[in-house]
Amino acid sequence: MGSLPESVAAAVAEMDWLTPADQAAVDLALRYAMQIEAGISKGGQDATRALYLGPHLLRALAELGSTPGGRTALGHNTSGRVESTLTRLRAEFGHSA
């Protein structure tokens, strides 16, 4: 398992829809990842404090389209991805969202 900043950087590298205007959000996501990683490395209360940044990192990634929900909100095609059980059941029983 790689580091969190490496994972964020790898995810960003796959986001071919990003433009230079998105760079500040990318930088913010990477900063959150670095802060989380540093806090966890220190342990104790630093680790606990760092984990409070987790939801902020997740939100930044979602805004960039790096989560399933974020990609859907941006209108990116997610076909070929694993279909959720709820989506499959809705389709099977004829219910819409």
List CB contacts of 81: < 8 A, sequence separation 6 or more.
68
Check residue 78 and give its pLDDT. 59
Cβ-contact 35, 48 below 8 angstroms: no
| pLDDT per residue as tens digits for the range 20-50 | 999 999 999 999 999 999 999 999 999 999 9
Mean pLDDT computed over 56-85? 81
For residue 2, what pLDDT band results from cuts at 50, 70 and 90? confident
What is the Cα–Cα distance from 66 to 14, expressed in whole angstroms? Answer: 9
φ, ψ at 82 (rounded to 5°): -70, 130
Tell me which amino acid residue 34 is.
M
Check residue 69 and give its pLDDT. 84
